[in-house]
């Protein structure tokens, strides 16, 4: 039966077509066991309906949230931002960049100069027509000396932005980047009217599918359909409401009793029960979120690759998936590229728990007597402390001594991460291999949390960024993954699935997993069945 | 009565001093926590440059005593300042939440206070009977469970199984009074169950204590019925401790219900305080902390005044 479940999953996620699904299930002789609802919702899916209200119960909201695109710290404000504002580029469920406010774009052959043509006649909620100056302004909010934007590092590669007339924006990059459109899809870089500053951001004027009517940080957002939205037919709902619900049980109860229509971050312990609930569609999606255990290569003995490899072999990944993620995840191969990425290196053998090899490498480094301090707090990811204890256990079977140092959740990113020698960490992942490597593995990256410098890797990364030939590019990224996996300082033991659930009242096609809530765009993409 | 007025004035002045000390403690406490608003908001995505720019914009780069004195100066002028995180005026952030907190606390109090006093009186009346033992056992059980557990049990029974009441109480302005009352039934019940035992037991104990006094014996000897003895003779004399325990529980209903707010998604002051502390949003923490302190100070004062008024012996201290 688990095979059937898997097929159903692939089908709901749109990984296989209806025809394929029926074919493969028939082949198993299990057609009678398929829930008729599964096929019928899908059949309805073809014709989105207008009207109604969707209520999202969201974790990841705080009363200190702000609508300043530079400081969107949590999922709830991020999703609200994408509900009222648009970007130049959208990323679809396949992970491809598609036009949004930009109608089209073109790169110079060396991928340094990028020309974006804007959609014409798009109006902000306040009636102002969106033009190239607004786009330039919105990008500049994240650049320069005085910016406090969390996206400063993302737009750093941009050397110059200028408007060419009302409908064209020209970007000149410091160096070639074939993936530049993805950067323009970053949720921080939503397009706002020129001159928006500080407090005015809270009014939420954008070009997005819904218009802000009420917004109380961490508590509630209410928006109504933007009648002048530039994407024809969209959005389908008349109204959208977000309710901040921090407690997982409260979110689940609210969904079960129909007070909300969708929830994010389901509890893995009880997810199988949601899957069986009659009025609920439980979604588990494969995104790019992964857990890492970076080591600072500037501190002895982590400068020695034998130490790093030995510790990588000492981690029992399978057990971590089973116990910490309750099975809702898959093992990582010590690099940050998820298996659904087009450049994922299938050819690399999966690193497994191997006490013998672990011992061998640490003996070679002369470090069998050393006690390794592993710093952890659940701020890194839920279950990080348990995961550390598991690692301590599995390593002790190889004769390796690890001491788990519990750190406070408060100030974890400031005082522990990139400060202590070996720590627990997570990454929500990025849409491209280049982006992920560039922010956390490149020698000059802002968040290179291992301070790892590998000349060959850095050269390859730079080369791949500018390479427009897909085949060559793939080879380069595979090599990058091999180097990070074998010589990097970041064990990547696990990728986590994204667990969410929705009422059967709602319909959708192919939910994206790049961010929560269908790539933060659920209010625009879903409709009432 | 002039003694009472003097006492009230003295206590108010003491209260103000207390509040000043509390504001200082809160400030020092939040400063002592690792990090500040800039690092808390930017989190994993922080870089030294963006943190510095953020601090400059919020004037967090100034030394702590300068910031405290500036805050105190504004506060004296009645200006609570603006939230560092989203630039909203603190007064605006707090006012409607405080009203919500009071609304829930008042609803729970209206239910819990008369009920527990009544049960306390009845328990004293039928002391050591099956009724007394049952009431004690039930209320002591509900107070012994953590409040989120009581809340989840109520949700499971009355919201998920029986579908009578909503499981979340996210009230907003568009709701009518009746709708609001309907949506807060479960948190109200939870709080009632949590605070009842304390008040009920105190009432019972105080009355039983008084029942041993000679004047009660006198009343009994005169042939007055037990019910009348308890309600008219014993209870008024037991009021002082009962008022004090009621005041403590009222204060708890206002300042101590963060967990109930979280479980029921109730937009009160508690969640704001928790979020503001975790993000180091000092002006908001200061203002909410001071409101909570003021609630305690004034409820204690009220309890003392009420005790004195109900007890002639304390009105004229020797």
Residue A528 pairs with which residues in a beta bridge?
A506
- Are A62 and B42 in contact (CB < 8 Å)? no
Chain B positions touching A256 (Cβ under 8 A) are: 160, 167
Residue B56 belongs to a domain: no
Examine the pLDDT at B75 and tell me if it is beyond 90: no
Chain mean pLDDT for chain B = 88
Examine the pLDDT at B160 and tell me if it is beyond 50: yes
B38 in A contact zone (CB under 8 Å): yes
**What is the pLDDT confidence band of residue A366, given thresholds at 50, 70 and 90?**
very high
Examine the pLDDT at A310 and tell me if it is beyond 90: yes
Q: Please, what CATH class does the domain formed by A208-285+497-528 belong to?
A: alpha beta
Per-residue confidence (pLDDT) for residue A355, from 0 to 100: 95
Mean pLDDT, residues A373-399 taken together:
93
B159 in A contact zone (CB under 8 Å): yes
Per-residue confidence (pLDDT) for residue B309, from 0 to 100: 83
Q: What are the respective helix, strand and coil percentages of chain A, to the nearest 5?
A: 35, 20, 45
Q: Which of A101-105, B240-244, B248-252 has the highest mean pLDDT?
A: A101-105
Per-residue confidence (pLDDT) for residue B205, from 0 to 100: 92
Peptide bond before residue A235 is cis, with ω within 30 degrees of 0: yes
CA A52 to chain centroid: 29
Identify the closest residue of chain A to B272 by CA–CA distance: A63
| CATH for the stretch A290-496 | 3.10.105.10
Q: Is B76 exposed, middle or buried (0-12, 13-18, 19+ CB in 10 A)?
A: exposed
pLDDT tens string A25-39: 555 555 545 544 444
B57 in A contact zone (CB under 8 Å): yes
Is the Cα dihedral B270, B276, B277, B279 positive or negative?
positive
Residue B84 belongs to a domain: no
Nearest CB to B264; choose among A199, A250, A425 = A250
Mean pLDDT, residues A277-302 taken together:
93
Mean pLDDT, residues A151-174 taken together:
93
Nearest CB to B271; choose among A63, A149, A198 = A63
pLDDT tens string A415-455: 899 889 999 999 988 889 999 999 899 998 878 999 999 99
End-to-end CA distance of chain B: 14
Examine the pLDDT at A1 and tell me if it is beyond 70: no
Round to whole Å and give the CA distance between A418 and B114: 57
- In the block, tokens 């029921």 appear at B264
Examine the pLDDT at A190 and tell me if it is beyond 90: yes
Per-residue confidence (pLDDT) for residue A123, from 0 to 100: 96
Chain mean pLDDT for chain A = 90
Long-range contacts: B177-182, Cβ < 8 Å, 24+?
A: B180/B103, B181/B107
Mean pLDDT, residues A172-183 taken together:
92
A403 backbone dihedrals φ, ψ, rounded to 5°: -110, 125
> Among candidates A57, A63, A25, which has minimal Cα distance to B85?
A63
- Cβ proximity of B10 and A388 under 8 Å: no
**What is the pLDDT confidence band of residue A16, given thresholds at 50, 70 and 90?**
low
Query: Domain boundaries in chain A?
Result: 3-46, 86-195, 208-285+497-528, 290-496
| CATH for the stretch A86-195 | 3.90.76.10
- The share of chain A scoring above pLDDT 90, in percent, equals 73
pLDDT tens string A52-91: 999 999 998 888 899 999 988 789 999 999 999 999 999 9
Round to whole Å and give the CA distance between B287 and B74: 12
pLDDT tens string B179-229: 999 999 999 999 999 999 899 999 999 999 888 889 988 888 988 888 888
B59 in A contact zone (CB under 8 Å): no
Residue B285 belongs to a domain: no
Tell me the CATH number at B132: 1.10.3720.10
- Are A66 and B160 in contact (CB < 8 Å)? no
**How many contacts, defined by CB atoms under 8 Å, are there between A and B?**
134
**What is the pLDDT confidence band of residue B3, given thresholds at 50, 70 and 90?**
confident
Per-residue confidence (pLDDT) for residue A37, from 0 to 100: 45
Per-residue confidence (pLDDT) for residue A27, from 0 to 100: 55
B209 in A contact zone (CB under 8 Å): no
Per-residue confidence (pLDDT) for residue A188, from 0 to 100: 94
**What is the pLDDT confidence band of residue A198, given thresholds at 50, 70 and 90?**
confident
Chain A positions touching B267 (Cβ under 8 A) are: 216, 219-220
Examine the pLDDT at B256 and tell me if it is beyond 60: yes
- Are B166 and A257 in contact (CB < 8 Å)? yes
**What is the pLDDT confidence band of residue A43, given thresholds at 50, 70 and 90?**
very low
- Are B167 and A408 in contact (CB < 8 Å)? no
Exposure string of A390-429, with b = 16+ CB inside 10 Å and e = fewer, is: bbbebbeebebebebbebeebbbbbbbbbebbbbbbbbeb
Round to whole Å and give the CA distance between A350 and A331: 8
Mean pLDDT, residues A222-237 taken together:
95
Two tokens, residue B101: 């907190």
Per-residue confidence (pLDDT) for residue B78, from 0 to 100: 83
A444 in B contact zone (CB under 8 Å): no
Which candidate in A57, A64, A189 is best for mutational testing of the B interface (most B CBs within 10 A)?
Answer: A64
- Are B172 and A247 in contact (CB < 8 Å)? no
Chain A residues 180-209 with a CB less than 8 Å from chain B: 198-199, 202
Round to whole Å and give the CA distance between A303 and A472: 31
Examine the pLDDT at A335 and tell me if it is beyond 80: yes
Per-residue confidence (pLDDT) for residue A293, from 0 to 100: 97
**What is the pLDDT confidence band of residue B52, given thresholds at 50, 70 and 90?**
confident
Per-residue confidence (pLDDT) for residue A447, from 0 to 100: 84
Round to whole Å and give the CA distance between B141 and B137: 6
- Are A410 and B267 in contact (CB < 8 Å)? no
Per-residue confidence (pLDDT) for residue A274, from 0 to 100: 92
A277 in B contact zone (CB under 8 Å): no
Chain B positions touching A218 (Cβ under 8 A) are: 271, 275
pLDDT tens string A476-493: 999 999 999 999 999 999
**Would you give the DSSP letter of residue A224?**
E
pLDDT tens string B95-154: 999 999 999 999 999 999 999 999 999 998 888 899 999 998 998 898 898 888 999 999
Identify the closest residue of chain A to B47 by CA–CA distance: A446
Q: How far is A142 from chain B (nearest CA, A)?
A: 10
- Cβ proximity of A126 and A205 under 8 Å: yes
Report ipTM for this prediction.
0.83
Examine the pLDDT at B1 and tell me if it is beyond 60: no
Round to whole Å and give the CA distance between A186 and A180: 11
Examine the pLDDT at A499 and tell me if it is beyond 90: yes
Per-residue confidence (pLDDT) for residue A7, from 0 to 100: 63
Which candidate in B32, B38, B42, B45 is best for mutational testing of the A interface (most A CBs within 10 A)?
Answer: B45
Contacts of A470 (CB under 8 A, 6+ apart): none
- Cβ proximity of A139 and A190 under 8 Å: no
Mean pLDDT, residues A375-403 taken together:
93
Per-residue confidence (pLDDT) for residue B235, from 0 to 100: 87
Q: What would the DSSP string read from start to end of B200-221?
A: HHHHHHHHHHHHTSHHHHHHHH
Q: How many CB atoms lie within 10 A of CB A33?
A: 11
Per-residue confidence (pLDDT) for residue A356, from 0 to 100: 95
> Among candidates A48, A423, A74, A364, which has minimal Cα distance to A232?
A48
Q: Name the strand (E) or helix (H) holding A222.
A: strand A220-225
> Among candidates B150, B153, B130, B229, which has minimal Cα distance to B197?
B150
Two tokens, residue A450: 């291992």
Count of the separate structural domains present in chain B: 1
Examine the pLDDT at A315 and tell me if it is beyond 70: yes
Range of the domain at B208: 103-280
pTM above 0.80, yes or no: yes
């Amino acid at each position: 039966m688990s095979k059937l479940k898997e097929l159903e999953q692939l089908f709901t996620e749109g990984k296989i077509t209806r025809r394929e699904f029926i074919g493969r299930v028939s082949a198993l002789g299990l057609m009678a066991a398929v829930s008729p609802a599964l096929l019928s919702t899908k059949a309805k899916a073809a014709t989105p309906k207008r009207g109604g209200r969707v209520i999202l119960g969201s974790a990841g909201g705080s009363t200190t949230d702000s609508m300043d695109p530079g400081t969107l710290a949590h999922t709830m404000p991020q999703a609200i931002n994408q509900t009222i504002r648009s970007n130049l580029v959208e990323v679809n469920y396949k992970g491809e960049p598609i036009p949004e406010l930009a109608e089209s774009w073109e790169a110079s052959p060396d991928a340094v100069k990028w020309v974006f043509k804007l959609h014409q006649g798009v109006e902000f909620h306040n009636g102002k027509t969106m033009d190239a100056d607004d786009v330039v302004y919105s990008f500049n909010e994240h650049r320069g000396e005085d910016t406090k934007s969390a996206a400063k590092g993302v737009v750093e590669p941009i050397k110059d932005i200028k408007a060419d007339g009302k409908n064209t924006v020209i970007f000149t990059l410091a160096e070639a980047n074939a993936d530049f459109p993805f950067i323009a899809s970053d949720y921080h870089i939503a397009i706002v009217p020129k001159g928006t500053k500080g407090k005015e951001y809270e009014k939420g004027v954008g070009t997005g599918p819904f218009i802000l009517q009420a917004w109380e940080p961490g508590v509630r957002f209410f928006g109504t359909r933007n009648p002048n939205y530039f994407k024809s037919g969209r959005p389908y709902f008349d109204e959208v409401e977000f309710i901040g619900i921090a407690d997982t049980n409260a979110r689940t109860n609210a969904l079960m009793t129909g007070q909300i229509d969708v929830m994010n971050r389901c509890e893995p312990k009880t997810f199988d029960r949601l899957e069986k609930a009659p009025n609920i569609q439980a979604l588990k999606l494969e995104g790019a979120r992964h857990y890492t255990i970076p080591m600072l290569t500037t501190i002895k003995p982590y400068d020695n690759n034998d130490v790093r490899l030995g510790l990588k072999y000492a981690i029992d990944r399978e057990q971590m998936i089973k116990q910490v993620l309750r099975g809702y995840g898959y093992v990582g191969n010590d690099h940050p590229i998820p298996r659904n990425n087009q450049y994922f290196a299938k050819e690399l053998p999966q690193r497994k728990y191997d006490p013998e090899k672990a011992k061998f490498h640490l003996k070679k480094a002369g470090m069998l007597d050393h006690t390794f301090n592993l710093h952890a707090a659940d701020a890194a990811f839920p279950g990080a402390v348990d995961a550390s204890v598991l690692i301590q256990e599995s390593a002790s079977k190889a004769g390796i001594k690890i001491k788990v140092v519990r750190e406070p959740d408060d100030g974890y990113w400031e005082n522990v991460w990139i400060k202590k020698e070996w720590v627990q960490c997570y990454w929500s992942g990025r849409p491209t291999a280049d982006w992920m490597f560039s922010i956390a593995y490149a020698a000059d990256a802002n968040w290179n949390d291992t301070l790892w410098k590998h000349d060959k890797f850095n050269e390859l990364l730079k080369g791949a960024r500018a390479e427009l030939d897909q085949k060559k590019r793939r080879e380069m990224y595979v090599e990058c993954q091999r180097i990070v996996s074998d010589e990097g300082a970041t064990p990547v033991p696990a990728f986590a699935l994204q667990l969410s659930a929705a009422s059967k009242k709602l319909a959708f096609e192919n939910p994206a997993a790049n961010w929560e809530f269908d790539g933060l765009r659920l209010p625009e993409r879903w409709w009432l069945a | 009565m002039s003694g009472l007025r003097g006492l009230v004035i003295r206590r108010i002045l003491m209260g103000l001093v207390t509040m000043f000390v509390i504001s200082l403690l809160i400030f020092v406490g939040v400063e002592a926590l690792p990090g500040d608003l800039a690092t808390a908001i930017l989190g994993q995505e922080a870089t030294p440059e963006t943190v510095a720019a953020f601090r400059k914009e919020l004037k967090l780069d100034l030394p702590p005593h300068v910031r405290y004195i500036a805050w105190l100066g504004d506060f004296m002028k009645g200006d609570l300042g603006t939230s560092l995180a989203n630039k909203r005026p603190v007064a605006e952030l707090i006012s409607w939440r405080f009203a919500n907190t009071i609304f829930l606390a008042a609803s729970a109090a209206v239910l819990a206070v008369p009920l527990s006093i009544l049960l306390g009186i009845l328990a004293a009346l039928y002391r050591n009977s099956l009724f007394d033992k049952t009431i004690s056992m039930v209320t002591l059980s509900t107070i012994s469970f953590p409040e989120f557990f009581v809340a989840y049990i109520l949700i499971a029974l009355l919201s998920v199984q029986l579908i009578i009441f909503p499981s979340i109480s996210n009230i907003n302005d568009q709701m009518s009074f009746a709708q609001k009352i309907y949506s807060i039934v479960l948190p109200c019940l939870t709080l009632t169950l949590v605070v009842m035992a304390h008040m009920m037991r105190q009432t019972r104990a105080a009355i039983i204590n008084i029942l041993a006094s000679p004047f009660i014996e006198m009343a009994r000897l005169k042939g007055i019925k037990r019910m009348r003895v308890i309600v008219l003779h014993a209870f008024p004399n037991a009021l002082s401790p009962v008022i004090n325990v009621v005041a403590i529980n009222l204060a708890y209903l206002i300042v101590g219900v963060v967990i109930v707010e979280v479980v029921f998604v109730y937009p009160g002051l508690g969640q704001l305080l928790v979020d503001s502390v975790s993000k180091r949003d000092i002006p908001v923490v200061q203002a909410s902390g001071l409101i909570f302190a003021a609630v305690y100070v004034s409820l204690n004062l009220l309890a003392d005044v009420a005790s004195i008024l109900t007890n002639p012996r304390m009105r004229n201290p020797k």
